[in-house]
Amino acid sequence: MIAFWIQNASHAQLQELWWLLCSVIGALFLFLTFVQGGQTLLWQVAETETEKDLIINSLGRKWEMTFTTLVLFGGALFAAFPKFYATSFGGAYWVWILILFTFIIQAVSYEYRKKPRNILGARIYETFLLVNGVVGILLIGAAVGTFFTGSNFILSSYNLVTWTSSLRGLEAAFSLFNLSVGLFLVFNARALGAMYLLNNIDFSENGGLEERLRAATYKNFLYSLPFLGWFVVQVIPMDGYGIGENGEIIRVTFKYFLNLIQVPGLFFALVIGLVLVVTGAMLTAKTEAKCGIWSSGLGTVLLGLAIFGMAGFNNTAFYPSKVDLQSSLTIYTASSSMYTLQVMTWVALLIPVVLAYVVYVWWSMDRKKMSVAEVSGVGGSY
C-alpha cells in the first residue's frame, strides 16, 4: 500500500508530503526547546548548587535530542528543498551564523561545566546555556517569522541569491511580527522547560524548587500569551503570496486566513494546539499535576504544524521575497527532483522506528526521577 503510493505519487504530492515531514520535524524541535527554556530558568529557579545540578542533569539527558532534531531539520530541508536551503542560509547569513554559534556553545556546556580544569569556569558555561536559550530561540523564531513577512533576496535565472539588506538576515529581528514569534518561542520554551523539570525531578528533598518551577510555568505562560496573540491577530488579516494561474507569484489578500479556512486541518491544529498549551500550563500552575509537559508539548507541536502548514500549504509562497516577488519560493519551486523525493520517502519510513526507540528509551530512563543522590555522582552525572 505504502510502496504503491510512493511509486505512484505525483511530484506535487511528494513535495507536499515533504513539507509536512519537515513541518513535523520543525514542530517536534519546538517542543524539544524545553531544553533551551530550562537552561534559561537555571538562573531564576535554582537557589542552591544542588538544585542547579538537578536541573542541569535533568536537561542534560535530553539536550542531544533537541540538537539532533535541529540538525535533522536542516538536513531534511537541504535534501527536500535545496533552493530554500541555498537561498536562506547563503542569504540570511548572519542570522543563521548566530543561531549556530549559540548551539555550538551549548554542545560543550553540559559536559564541561563541572569538570575540573575546564578553563572558563562553571558560570561561563551556564552563561553559554542562557545565551543558547534566549538568543538562539529568539532568532529561530525571527527566522520562522520571515515565512510570513518575507526576506530581502533576488534569485538570478541560475538561482544564485543576492541579498539586498546589508544586515544579511538580522533585519528579521527588527520586525515586530518576527520578534513576537521569537519571544513567544522563548517564553513558551521556558514554560515547557519548567513543566519538563517538574515531571522529571524527584522533589522529596527539594520542595521549594517544585514551587518555584510551578510559579515559573505560570509566569512564562502568561508572558508568552501576548506574543502569541500578536502573531494570531497580525497573521489573520495579513496579505500573503500565492501561486497564480500561470505559475507566477501573486499577492493574495487574507492569504493566511484563507489557508486556515481552506485547509481545515491547519485550523484545528491551531485551535487544539492553543487549548492544549493553555491546559498544560494551567494544570501545572493550579493543581499538583506534573503531566502538564505532555499537554503543552503536544500543543506546541500542533501550533508548530499550524504555523509551518499555513506558510507552505495551499499554494502559498513559504519564503516570500520582499524585493522581487517572482523570486519567492514555494514548495513546488524550491524542492528536489521527483526521484530524490521518492528515495527520501522510502528512507522516511524509518521515522516511526526512530520515534519508537526514542519513546522507549525516554520511558526507560525517566521511570526513575532525577534525585539528589544521582547528581551527587551515583550512576554518572554532569
Partner 1 sequence: MIENFDLTMVNWARAQFAMTAMYHWVFVPLTLGITWIIAFYHTIYVKTGSEEWKNLTKFWMKLFGINFAIGVATGIIMEFEFGTNWSNYSWMVGDIFGAPLAIEGIAAFFLEATFFAVMFFGWNRVSKGFHLFSTWMVAVGSNLSAVWILVANGWMQHPVGQAFNPDTARFEMQNFTDVVFNPVAVSKFTHTTSSAMLFAALFIISISSFYLLKGRHVKMAKRSIIVASVFGLLASGFVGFTGDEAAYENARHQPMKLAAFEGLYQGEKNAGLVAFGMVNSKKQVGDDQDAFHFEIRIPGLLTMLANRKFGTFVPGINDLVYGNAEQGIMGAAEKMEKGKVAITQLDAYKKFKKAGDEAAATAALSIFDENKDYLGYGFLTRPEEAAPPVALSFNAFHIMVVLGTVFPLVFLAYLYFSYKDTLLEQKWLLGTGTIMFFLGMVAQQAGWVVAEVGRQPWAIQDLLPVTVARSNLTAGTVQTTFFMFLVLFTILLVAEISIMLKQISLGPKES
Residue type at 103 in one-letter notation: F
Total Cβ atoms within 10 A of residue 16? 17
| Contact yes or no for 212/256 (Cβ under 8 A) | no
Q: Are strands 153-155 and 161-163 parallel, antiparallel or unpaired?
A: antiparallel
In the complex, least distance from residue 305 CB atom to partner 1, rounded to whole angstroms: 19
Residue of 272, 291, 271 whose CA lies nearest to 281: 291
Q: What is the footprint of partner 1 within residues 21-80 (CB under 8 A)?
A: 61-62, 64-65, 67-68, 70-72, 74-76, 78-80
In the complex, least distance from residue 86 CB atom to partner 1, rounded to whole angstroms: 4
Does 107 contact partner 1 by CB under 8 A? yes
Residue number, 233 or 373, with CB nearest to partner 1: 373
| Contact yes or no for 14/345 (Cβ under 8 A) | yes
Does 234 contact partner 1 by CB under 8 A? no
Quick note: the x/- pattern for partner 1 over 349-368, rule CB under 8 A, is -xx--x--xx--x--xx-xx
Quick note: the x/- pattern for partner 1 over 147-186, rule CB under 8 A, is ----------xxxxxxx----x------------------
Instruction: Select from 122, 274, 348, 372 the one that contacts partner 1 (CB under 8 A).
Output: 348
Residue of 72, 74, 65 whose CA lies nearest to 106: 65
| Contact yes or no for 114/55 (Cβ under 8 A) | no
Residue number, 222 or 351, with CB nearest to partner 1: 351
Does 105 contact partner 1 by CB under 8 A? yes
Q: What is the footprint of partner 1 within residues 108-127 (CB under 8 A)?
A: 108, 110-112, 115-120
**Residue 314, Ramachandran bin (φ over 0: left; ψ between -120 and 50: alpha; else beta):** left
Residue number, 116 or 207, with CB nearest to partner 1: 116
Does 93 contact partner 1 by CB under 8 A? yes
Residues 6+ away with beta carbon under 8 Å from 328? 150, 241, 249, 317, 319, 320, 321
